[in-house]
Each structure stands twice: as structure tokens, then as C-alpha cells.
Amino acid sequence: MPPPAQCNVTPAPPARETSAFLEINRLHVEARRLAGDSRRSLDAALSAAWRAGQLLIAEKARIRRRAGQGAWLGWLETRFHGGVRTAQRYMQLARRADTPGALRGLGLRQAYLRLGIPISSKTSGEDRRVRPPKLPPIVTLAARLTRLLRRQARLGMDIQFPDDLRVLHSQLAILLKNTGTDTAV
């Protein structure tokens, strides 16, 4: 009988280590699958935005031919479910990239940045305009009165003040007289 063959078998790890290795490998496979899905999703989003940009460019030309220059924004605001800035970015993407494949693997924001297309920050809402705070009525009255007084001084003649400014003017005149200010009001 021949001698038994030598086996170089390492002993099996304990069950706890085996389950950890199985979980690590399962998560590795899951991460690779999700990364592939993510790349495909990014490419699909880029292709959709690029194609939408092409269609928007064609539609803009058609609307301008039929209805004139001013009709485009009205059409866009009533028909397009995105914002005006989004439509502009889609059109710039279509103009600046020959094919969406040239930007494969990039997200929309990354593609916009690479092509030099301006984007708004993630924290600010799209298409929001920053408006200065509304000033209190007394400030606007004071500004109006100041303009009228400057005009009066420039023209060298008395100006009839509107009713709302007449009261403010008379109160300021009394205050300036009481403080001894030499300014003619």
C-alpha cells in the first residue's frame, strides 16, 4: 500500500472568522455592483440632460421663428418643468459637448464645471434672487425728503412738499432750531 499523500491544507478558521470573511466579501461584491450602477446612472443623467439641451435649442429656434424673440421665456416657463437656469445649463451642455460620452463618469455638476458652465451652490435655491430687505417707511420718507431738500438747494427756490413730507419737514425744522444747528431746512 502506498504511503498517504502529503496535504498542505490549512486548518479551517473558526466559524466566527468565516462569517466575517463571508460578510466582507459579500459587501465587496455589493459595493462593486452599486459603483457600476452609480456610473451607469451618472452617464444616463448626463445623456438625458445633453439630449434635453439639444431639444431645447431646437425648440427655442422654432419658437423664436414663429412667435418672436420675447416668446421663448414665456413658453419655457409654461412648458418646461425645470427652472430657466436648468434649461440654460442643459443648452450650454449640448452646445459645448459634442457627445455626452466625452464626459462619461462625471456627474452633472462636475460636467458643468469642466465645461465652464456656471452653477449655483447647493445651499442656495435655484433661480432665487437676493432682494434687499424692505426699508421701514420712515427711512423711505427721510430719503425722499433729503432728495427734495437737495433739489430745493440746487434750484434756489422753495418747493411745495407733499403732505406726507410736510409733517416730517416741519418736525425736523423744529428739532434743528432747538439744537441750534445753523442748517436751513
CA 149 – CA 168 distance, rounded (Å):
12
52-78 per-position pLDDT tens digit: 999 999 999 999 899 888 888 988 999
101-128 per-position pLDDT tens digit: 888 888 899 999 989 998 876 555 544 5
Backbone angles phi, psi at 114, to 5 degrees: -65, -35
Judged by DSSP in three states, 15 sits in helix
